[in-house]
């Protein structure tokens, strides 16, 4: 009788479990936070689809997370705190240790008197922070936080590429910026990306950011992509470029890691 009940429950479990992906609210909010930290910006509709709940639920979750100061709710979506919060204390950068290791590896590419360009995003910001102090650099940037960081480096001459400022990415965008970029050619540009896929290349959430990144790539002899492995094999709406325009890709993984297999025969230096 009792055993019958157990068998019955087992049966039910077997039948029903694959269908229902039951999720705790906390778990869901955790996933949302993760997504926001990873991509800096997400749409409520995308979240709802990904988590398989109604948009209302996602909206309520985001509202709560915003109230707890864990992210910033914006019209139609949410952005990470780091993007609107200009506090020098970046203790809450997502996957900071990975980004630090990426930045360290990337900085080995630098030579004395190199002319470089550093893009926006938390990984690039980390590079700016960890630039070696023993070599002289001329550094262009269009990111406000990166520029702030570079000002603290005595060995770096910083040139800000002006233009209309994008609120959430905190970088200069628009025609002005693109024109200014057209007039320079740097040795290396270090760029981040919202999403990267071996097949679809680099993609972004924001169309204007894509235009700017394209101009950045054109303004550099070699382009270095800084990207934590979590972003590999993801994609979004707007395409920046194919992977073959990237000279070097830096992740926190060892170059021979299996996760990088898809990128190995693509004429990209893996670091």
The number of residues that bind DNA (CB under 7 A) is: 21
User: CA 62 to CA 77: how far, in whole Å?
Assistant: 8
- Helices 207-218, 175-182: crossing angle, 10 deg rounding: 10
Report the run of H or E that residue 10 belongs to, with start and end.
Answer: helix 2-16
User: CA 161 to CA 179: how far, in whole Å?
Assistant: 10
Q: Which of 172, 163, 133, 164 is nearest to 150 (CA)?
A: 133
Q: Using CB under 8 A, which residues numbered 69 to 88 contact a second copy?
A: 69-70, 72, 74-77, 79, 81, 83-88
Would you say 120 and 145 are in contact if contact means Cβ atoms under 8 Å apart? yes
Q: Does 43 bind DNA (CB under 7 A)?
A: yes
Residue 117: which residues within 8 A CB-CB, separation 6 or more? 139, 140, 141, 184, 186, 188, 189, 190, 216, 219, 220
Stretch that binds DNA, among 42-50, 101-109, 183-191, 240-248 (CB under 7 A): 42-50
Handedness of CA 252, 258, 259, 261 (dihedral sign): positive
Q: In the set 2, 14, 18, 21, which binds DNA (CB under 7 A)?
A: 21
Binding mask 151-190 for a second copy (x = CB under 8 A): xx-x--xxxxxxxxx-x--x-x---x---x----------
Q: In the set 1, 19, 91, 265, which binds a second copy (CB under 8 A)?
A: 91
Q: Using CB under 7 A, which residues numbered 54 to 93 contact DNA?
A: 54-57, 59-61, 63, 73-77
Q: Does 33 bind a second copy (CB under 8 A)?
A: yes
DSSP 95: T
Which residues are near a second copy by CB under 8 A?
A: 2-3, 6-7, 9-10, 13-14, 17-18, 22, 24-27, 30, 33, 41, 43, 49, 52, 68-70, 72, 74-77, 79, 81, 83-92, 144, 147-148, 150-152, 154, 157-165, 167, 170, 172, 176, 180
């Amino acid at each position: 009788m009792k055993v019958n009940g157990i068998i019955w429950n087992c049966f039910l479990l077997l039948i029903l479990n694959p269908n229902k992906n039951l999720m705790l609210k906390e778990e869901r909010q955790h996933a949302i936070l993760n997504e926001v930290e990873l991509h800096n910006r997400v749409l409520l509709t995308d979240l709802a689809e990904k988590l398989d709940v109604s948009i209302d639920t996602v909206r309520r979750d985001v509202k709560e997370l915003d109230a707890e100061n864990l992210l910033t709710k914006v019209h139609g979506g949410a952005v990470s705190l780091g993007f609107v919060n200009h506090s020098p204390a970046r203790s809450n950068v997502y996957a900071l240790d990975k980004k630090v290791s990426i930045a360290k590896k990337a900085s080995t590419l630098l030579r004395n008197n190199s002319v470089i360009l550093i893009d926006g995003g938390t990984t690039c910001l980390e590079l700016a922070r960890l630039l070696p102090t023993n070599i002289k650099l001329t550094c262009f940037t269009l990111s406000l936080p990166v520029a702030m960081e570079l000002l603290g480096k005595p060995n770096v001459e910083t040139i800000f590429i002006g233009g209309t400022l994008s609120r959430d990415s905190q970088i200069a965008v628009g025609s002005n910026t693109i024109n200014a970029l057209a007039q320079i050619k740097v040795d290396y540009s270090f760029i981040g990306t919202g999403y990267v896929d071996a097949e679809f290349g680099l993609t972004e959430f924001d169309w204007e950011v894509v235009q700017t990144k394209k101009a950045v790539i054109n303004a550099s002899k070699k382009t270095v992509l800084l990207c934590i492995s979590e972003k590999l094999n993801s994609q979004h709406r707007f395409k920046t470029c194919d992977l073959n325009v990237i000279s070097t890709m830096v992740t926190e993984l060892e170059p021979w890691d299996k996760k990088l297999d898809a990128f190995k025969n693509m004429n990209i230096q893996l670091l």
